Protein backbone atom coordinates (compact mmCIF):
# COMPACT_ATOMS: atom_id res chain seq x y z
CA UNK A 1 0.00 0.00 0.00
CA UNK A 2 1.29 3.47 -0.93
CA UNK A 3 0.16 6.35 1.27
CA UNK A 4 1.20 10.00 0.95
CA UNK A 5 0.53 12.74 3.51
CA UNK A 6 -0.44 15.62 1.25
CA UNK A 7 -2.42 18.18 3.21
CA UNK A 8 -4.00 19.11 6.53
CA UNK A 9 -7.65 19.66 7.35
CA UNK A 10 -9.10 22.00 9.96
CA UNK A 11 -12.80 22.29 10.71
CA UNK A 12 -14.93 24.04 13.28
CA UNK A 13 -16.77 20.74 13.64
CA UNK A 14 -13.63 19.00 14.90
CA UNK A 15 -11.34 19.73 17.80
CA UNK A 16 -8.30 18.38 15.95
CA UNK A 17 -6.47 18.88 12.68
CA UNK A 18 -6.53 15.87 10.40
CA UNK A 19 -3.75 14.86 8.06
CA UNK A 20 -5.00 14.21 4.54
CA UNK A 21 -3.47 10.92 3.47
CA UNK A 22 -3.98 9.71 -0.10
CA UNK A 23 -3.74 6.11 -1.22
CA UNK A 24 -2.01 6.06 -4.61
CA UNK A 25 -0.61 3.72 -7.23
CA UNK A 26 1.83 4.25 -10.07
CA UNK A 27 2.29 2.52 -13.41
CA UNK A 28 5.26 2.87 -15.71
CA UNK A 29 8.71 4.40 -15.59
CA UNK A 30 9.18 7.43 -13.27
CA UNK A 31 11.57 8.81 -15.88
CA UNK A 32 8.67 9.20 -18.34
CA UNK A 33 6.40 12.27 -18.35
CA UNK A 34 4.01 12.12 -15.41
CA UNK A 35 0.28 11.75 -16.08
CA UNK A 36 -1.93 12.27 -13.03
CA UNK A 37 -5.40 10.68 -13.21
CA UNK A 38 -8.12 12.13 -10.97
CA UNK A 39 -11.30 10.28 -10.05
CA UNK A 40 -14.87 11.48 -10.00
CA UNK A 41 -17.56 11.71 -7.32
CA UNK A 42 -17.72 8.60 -5.13
CA UNK A 43 -15.23 6.84 -7.42
CA UNK A 44 -12.27 4.93 -6.05
CA UNK A 45 -8.94 4.42 -7.79
CA UNK A 46 -10.37 1.38 -9.58
CA UNK A 47 -12.67 3.74 -11.47
CA UNK A 48 -9.66 4.07 -13.76
CA UNK A 49 -9.49 0.45 -14.89
CA UNK A 50 -6.04 -1.06 -14.28
CA UNK A 51 -5.89 -2.08 -17.94
CA UNK A 52 -6.52 1.52 -19.03
CA UNK A 53 -3.75 2.78 -16.75
CA UNK A 54 -1.35 0.07 -17.88
CA UNK A 55 -1.92 0.88 -21.56
CA UNK A 56 -1.16 4.55 -20.91
CA UNK A 57 2.04 3.50 -19.15
CA UNK A 58 3.00 1.23 -22.05
CA UNK A 59 2.74 4.31 -24.30
CA UNK A 60 5.42 6.12 -22.31
CA UNK A 61 3.66 7.84 -19.44
CA UNK A 62 4.39 7.59 -15.72
CA UNK A 63 0.79 7.14 -14.60
CA UNK A 64 -0.22 8.24 -11.10
CA UNK A 65 -3.71 7.51 -9.76
CA UNK A 66 -5.19 7.82 -6.29
CA UNK A 67 -8.25 7.82 -4.05
CA UNK A 68 -9.56 11.32 -3.36
CA UNK A 69 -10.19 12.33 0.25
CA UNK A 70 -13.38 10.83 1.73
CA UNK A 71 -13.40 7.79 -0.53
CA UNK A 72 -11.57 4.48 -0.82
CA UNK A 73 -8.43 4.05 1.28
CA UNK A 74 -7.62 7.75 1.61
CA UNK A 75 -8.50 9.91 4.64
CA UNK A 76 -12.13 9.80 5.80
CA UNK A 77 -13.28 12.95 7.58
CA UNK A 78 -15.54 11.06 9.95
CA UNK A 79 -18.28 12.83 11.85
CA UNK A 80 -18.52 16.02 9.79
CA UNK A 81 -22.12 16.31 8.72
CA UNK A 82 -23.45 18.20 5.70
CA UNK A 83 -27.08 19.09 5.01
CA UNK A 84 -26.68 18.61 1.28
CA UNK A 85 -30.17 19.81 0.37
CA UNK A 86 -29.69 23.03 2.35
CA UNK A 87 -26.22 23.86 1.05
CA UNK A 88 -27.26 23.03 -2.53
CA UNK A 89 -30.20 25.42 -2.27
CA UNK A 90 -27.98 28.11 -0.78
CA UNK A 91 -25.40 27.58 -3.52
CA UNK A 92 -28.00 28.10 -6.27
CA UNK A 93 -29.16 31.30 -4.59
CA UNK A 94 -25.61 32.55 -4.12
CA UNK A 95 -24.68 31.84 -7.75
CA UNK A 96 -27.75 33.68 -9.02
CA UNK A 97 -26.97 36.70 -6.85
CA UNK A 98 -23.23 36.69 -7.49
CA UNK A 99 -22.58 36.19 -3.78
CA UNK A 100 -20.02 33.96 -2.01
CA UNK A 101 -20.84 30.28 -1.82
CA UNK A 102 -22.01 28.83 1.50
CA UNK A 103 -19.32 27.28 3.70
CA UNK A 104 -18.73 23.55 3.33
CA UNK A 105 -16.08 21.21 4.79
CA UNK A 106 -13.92 21.52 1.67
CA UNK A 107 -14.08 22.61 -1.96
CA UNK A 108 -12.67 21.65 -5.34
CA UNK A 109 -9.64 23.81 -4.54
CA UNK A 110 -8.90 21.58 -1.56
CA UNK A 111 -9.09 18.51 -3.81
CA UNK A 112 -6.70 20.28 -6.19
CA UNK A 113 -4.31 21.06 -3.34
CA UNK A 114 -4.36 17.37 -2.37
CA UNK A 115 -3.35 16.42 -5.91
CA UNK A 116 -0.48 18.92 -5.89
CA UNK A 117 0.60 17.54 -2.54
CA UNK A 118 0.80 14.09 -4.09
CA UNK A 119 3.01 15.43 -6.89
CA UNK A 120 5.22 16.98 -4.21
CA UNK A 121 5.45 13.63 -2.43
CA UNK A 122 6.51 11.94 -5.67
CA UNK A 123 9.02 14.66 -6.55
CA UNK A 124 7.12 15.62 -9.72
CA UNK A 125 7.50 19.28 -10.57
CA UNK A 126 4.84 19.45 -13.28
CA UNK A 127 2.54 16.82 -14.74
CA UNK A 128 -0.03 16.20 -17.39
CA UNK A 129 -3.37 15.95 -15.58
CA UNK A 130 -6.57 14.18 -16.61
CA UNK A 131 -9.79 13.91 -14.65
CA UNK A 132 -13.21 12.44 -15.28
CA UNK A 133 -16.52 13.87 -14.05
CA UNK A 134 -15.82 15.51 -10.67
CA UNK A 135 -12.18 14.68 -11.41
CA UNK A 136 -12.48 16.89 -14.50
CA UNK A 137 -13.64 19.71 -12.25
CA UNK A 138 -10.69 19.06 -9.95
CA UNK A 139 -8.12 19.18 -12.76
CA UNK A 140 -9.70 22.39 -14.05
CA UNK A 141 -9.33 23.87 -10.58
CA UNK A 142 -5.78 22.54 -10.36
CA UNK A 143 -4.89 24.26 -13.65
CA UNK A 144 -6.46 27.49 -12.36
CA UNK A 145 -4.86 27.43 -8.91
CA UNK A 146 -1.52 25.80 -9.78
CA UNK A 147 -0.74 26.48 -13.47
CA UNK A 148 2.99 26.07 -12.87
CA UNK A 149 2.40 22.42 -11.93
CA UNK A 150 0.41 21.56 -15.06
CA UNK A 151 1.90 20.63 -18.45
CA UNK A 152 -1.47 19.85 -20.02
CA UNK A 153 -5.05 19.19 -18.96
CA UNK A 154 -7.56 16.62 -20.18
CA UNK A 155 -11.10 17.19 -18.87
CA UNK A 156 -13.32 14.15 -19.42
CA UNK A 157 -17.14 14.03 -19.11
CA UNK A 158 -17.07 17.18 -16.96
CA UNK A 159 -18.23 20.79 -16.91
CA UNK A 160 -17.49 24.34 -15.75
CA UNK A 161 -19.64 24.73 -12.64
CA UNK A 162 -21.94 27.23 -14.34
CA UNK A 163 -25.71 26.89 -13.97
CA UNK A 164 -27.12 25.47 -17.17
CA UNK A 165 -24.01 23.47 -18.03
CA UNK A 166 -24.28 20.77 -15.38
CA UNK A 167 -27.57 19.23 -16.40
CA UNK A 168 -28.46 15.57 -16.11
CA UNK A 169 -31.53 13.96 -17.53
CA UNK A 170 -34.20 13.61 -14.81
CA UNK A 171 -33.76 9.84 -14.77
CA UNK A 172 -29.97 10.08 -14.35
CA UNK A 173 -30.18 12.73 -11.62
CA UNK A 174 -32.80 10.76 -9.69
CA UNK A 175 -30.59 7.66 -9.86
CA UNK A 176 -27.50 9.63 -8.76
CA UNK A 177 -29.17 11.24 -5.75
CA UNK A 178 -30.97 8.12 -4.47
CA UNK A 179 -28.90 6.62 -1.65
CA UNK A 180 -28.18 2.95 -2.43
CA UNK A 181 -28.99 0.24 0.14
CA UNK A 182 -26.24 -0.47 2.64
CA UNK A 183 -26.24 -4.25 2.20
CA UNK A 184 -23.88 -5.63 -0.42
CA UNK A 185 -26.51 -7.25 -2.63
CA UNK A 186 -28.77 -4.20 -2.58
CA UNK A 187 -25.85 -1.86 -3.21
CA UNK A 188 -24.74 -3.84 -6.25
CA UNK A 189 -28.26 -3.98 -7.71
CA UNK A 190 -28.85 -0.24 -7.24
CA UNK A 191 -25.42 0.71 -8.58
CA UNK A 192 -25.86 -1.44 -11.68
CA UNK A 193 -29.25 0.20 -12.28
CA UNK A 194 -27.59 3.64 -12.04
CA UNK A 195 -24.84 2.63 -14.46
CA UNK A 196 -27.41 1.38 -16.94
CA UNK A 197 -28.94 4.87 -16.97
CA UNK A 198 -25.65 6.77 -17.22
CA UNK A 199 -23.35 4.51 -19.27
CA UNK A 200 -22.93 3.90 -22.97
CA UNK A 201 -26.13 2.49 -24.43
CA UNK A 202 -24.25 0.31 -26.88
CA UNK A 203 -21.55 -1.12 -24.63
CA UNK A 204 -23.24 -1.38 -21.23
CA UNK A 205 -22.65 -4.86 -19.78
CA UNK A 206 -24.61 -5.55 -16.57
CA UNK A 207 -22.38 -8.44 -15.55
CA UNK A 208 -19.21 -6.39 -15.87
CA UNK A 209 -20.89 -3.47 -14.10
CA UNK A 210 -21.86 -5.76 -11.23
CA UNK A 211 -18.28 -7.03 -11.01
CA UNK A 212 -16.92 -3.48 -10.85
CA UNK A 213 -19.34 -2.21 -8.18
CA UNK A 214 -18.84 -5.35 -6.11
CA UNK A 215 -15.09 -4.73 -6.19
CA UNK A 216 -15.69 -1.14 -5.05
CA UNK A 217 -17.98 -2.23 -2.20
CA UNK A 218 -15.55 -4.89 -1.02
CA UNK A 219 -12.56 -2.56 -1.20
CA UNK A 220 -14.18 0.23 0.87
CA UNK A 221 -17.86 0.98 1.41
CA UNK A 222 -17.98 4.50 2.88
CA UNK A 223 -21.23 6.34 2.08
CA UNK A 224 -20.62 8.99 4.77
CA UNK A 225 -18.09 10.79 2.60
CA UNK A 226 -20.38 11.25 -0.38
CA UNK A 227 -22.44 14.23 0.86
CA UNK A 228 -19.20 16.07 1.65
CA UNK A 229 -17.83 15.37 -1.83
CA UNK A 230 -21.07 16.49 -3.49
CA UNK A 231 -21.14 19.63 -1.32
CA UNK A 232 -17.66 20.46 -2.63
CA UNK A 233 -19.00 20.25 -6.19
CA UNK A 234 -22.15 22.25 -5.49
CA UNK A 235 -20.48 24.97 -3.42
CA UNK A 236 -17.34 25.67 -5.42
CA UNK A 237 -17.62 28.85 -7.49
CA UNK A 238 -18.18 28.54 -11.26
CA UNK A 239 -14.90 28.49 -13.17
CA UNK A 240 -15.90 30.31 -16.38
CA UNK A 241 -13.87 33.50 -15.93
CA UNK A 242 -10.78 31.62 -14.76
CA UNK A 243 -11.04 29.08 -17.59
CA UNK A 244 -11.06 31.94 -20.11
CA UNK A 245 -7.65 33.00 -18.79
CA UNK A 246 -6.01 29.57 -18.84
CA UNK A 247 -2.82 29.12 -20.82
CA UNK A 248 -2.69 25.36 -20.31
CA UNK A 249 -2.93 23.08 -23.37
CA UNK A 250 -6.36 21.51 -22.99
CA UNK A 251 -8.22 18.53 -24.40
CA UNK A 252 -11.91 18.08 -23.59
CA UNK A 253 -13.45 14.62 -24.05
CA UNK A 254 -17.16 13.95 -23.70
CA UNK A 255 -19.47 11.08 -24.62
CA UNK A 256 -22.38 11.85 -26.87
CA UNK A 257 -24.52 9.43 -24.83
CA UNK A 258 -23.76 11.07 -21.47
CA UNK A 259 -26.98 11.52 -19.49
CA UNK A 260 -25.38 12.55 -16.18
CA UNK A 261 -23.39 15.54 -17.47
CA UNK A 262 -24.80 16.09 -20.92
CA UNK A 263 -22.46 16.98 -23.80
CA UNK A 264 -23.04 20.72 -23.48
CA UNK A 265 -20.91 20.56 -20.32
CA UNK A 266 -17.90 19.47 -22.34
CA UNK A 267 -18.72 21.79 -25.21
CA UNK A 268 -18.86 24.74 -22.84
CA UNK A 269 -15.52 23.81 -21.28
CA UNK A 270 -13.86 23.68 -24.70
CA UNK A 271 -15.53 26.96 -25.68
CA UNK A 272 -14.08 28.77 -22.66
CA UNK A 273 -10.49 27.49 -22.54
CA UNK A 274 -8.39 29.23 -25.20
CA UNK A 275 -7.37 26.90 -28.06
CA UNK A 276 -8.88 23.84 -26.37
CA UNK A 277 -9.51 20.75 -28.48
CA UNK A 278 -12.88 18.99 -28.18
CA UNK A 279 -13.42 15.28 -28.80
CA UNK A 280 -17.06 14.18 -28.74
CA UNK A 281 -17.14 10.38 -28.64
CA UNK A 282 -19.97 8.33 -30.09
CA UNK A 283 -21.25 5.32 -28.15
CA UNK A 284 -19.83 6.66 -24.89
CA UNK A 285 -21.87 7.77 -21.91
CA UNK A 286 -20.70 8.72 -18.44
CA UNK A 287 -18.15 5.93 -18.54
CA UNK A 288 -15.01 4.75 -20.30
CA UNK A 289 -16.23 1.72 -22.28
CA UNK A 290 -13.39 -0.63 -23.17
CA UNK A 291 -14.15 -0.67 -26.93
CA UNK A 292 -13.46 3.09 -26.86
CA UNK A 293 -10.12 2.76 -25.03
CA UNK A 294 -7.96 2.79 -28.19
CA UNK A 295 -9.47 6.11 -29.29
CA UNK A 296 -9.29 7.65 -25.81
CA UNK A 297 -5.74 6.50 -25.12
CA UNK A 298 -4.57 7.68 -28.55
CA UNK A 299 -6.14 11.09 -27.89
CA UNK A 300 -4.55 11.46 -24.45
CA UNK A 301 -1.13 10.31 -25.63
CA UNK A 302 -1.22 12.61 -28.67
CA UNK A 303 -2.36 15.57 -26.58
CA UNK A 304 0.32 15.09 -23.93
CA UNK A 305 2.99 14.50 -26.56
CA UNK A 306 2.30 17.83 -28.23
CA UNK A 307 1.97 19.79 -24.99
CA UNK A 308 5.43 21.00 -24.04
CA UNK A 309 6.40 22.83 -20.88
CA UNK A 310 4.04 25.70 -20.06
CA UNK A 311 5.02 29.05 -21.40
Q: Distance (Å, rounded) from C-alpha 257 to C-alpha 283?
A: 6
Q: What is the pLDDT of residue 180?
A: 84
Distances (CA, A) of 105 to 21, 26, 100, 209: 16, 29, 15, 31
DSSP 152: E
Q: What is the pLDDT of residue 14?
A: 67
Enter the pTM of the model. Answer: 0.95
pLDDT one-digit tens code per residue, 203-233: 999 999 999 999 999 999 999 999 999 999 9
pLDDT one-digit tens code per residue, 240-266: 999 999 999 999 999 999 999 999 999
Residues of the chain predicted below pLDDT 50: 309-311
Amino acid sequence: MSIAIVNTFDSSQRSDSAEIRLYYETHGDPADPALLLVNGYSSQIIGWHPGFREQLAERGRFVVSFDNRDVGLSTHLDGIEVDLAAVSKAAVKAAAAGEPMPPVPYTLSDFADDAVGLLDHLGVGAAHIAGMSMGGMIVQQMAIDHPDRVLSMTSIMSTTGEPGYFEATPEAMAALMTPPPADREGYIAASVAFRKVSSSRRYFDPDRAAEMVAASYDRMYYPEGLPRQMAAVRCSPPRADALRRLAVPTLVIHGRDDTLIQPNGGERTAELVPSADLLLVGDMGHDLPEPRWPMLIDAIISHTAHAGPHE
